[in-house]
Amino acid sequence: MAQDLSKYSFGATSAIITSLALIVGLESAVNPKMSIIPALLVIAFADNISDSLGIHIYRESQYPVCKHSEVYTFSNFLTRVAITMLFIFLVLFLPMQYAVPACIIIGMALLCLLSYFIAIYHKSSPFRETAEHLTVAVTVLVASNFLGQTIPRLFGV
């Protein structure tokens, strides 16, 4: 199970936290849907390819002969695209006052689920593992919201 989980854990975590940070940070934009959707698409592809290549190179440098680096690269890419597309779908089809909370709830639920499986695998406390991961995610979201509110005021936008 751990090897299966490790194929998706980086991509899922990265997609959840990065996408939610962007959504929360840009929700106060003049036209949030037209700011968030293109930014999420850039994350879904450009940033994703960059991270996937980073994982690929890391895995190749970690082992003399890495037979599964392509599997990890591809699964990371697909996981990130799928999760980011879910958030794009929510932002596209829901009014913003519902899209943002829906994205946060779904993103945090996915992060909790991933944390639970990691804890079970490591035979550690699911509560502790989940609390640790959610604390980091919430910190990123609070900082993103602060920046999204503060930067436009600082520059008079």
- What CA–CA distance (Å, rounded) separates 36 from 14? 17
Are 72 and 7 a contacting pair, CB within 8 Å?
A: yes
Its domain, for residue 73, covers 2-154
Residue 124: its pLDDT value, please?
A: 92
Whether the predicted model's global pTM rises above the 0.85 cut: yes
Nearest Cα to Cα of residue 141 among 110, 112, 105, 117:
105
- What CA–CA distance (Å, rounded) separates 73 from 131? 28
Counted domains in the chain: 1
Collect all residues with Cβ–Cβ distance below 8 Å to 93 and sequence separation of at least 6: none
Output the tens digit of pLDDT for each of the chain's 157 residues.
555 777 778 788 989 999 999 999 999 888 899 999 999 999 999 988 888 888 778 777 776 656 667 777 888 889 999 999 999 999 999 999 999 999 999 999 999 999 999 999 889 999 999 999 999 999 999 999 999 989 888 887 6
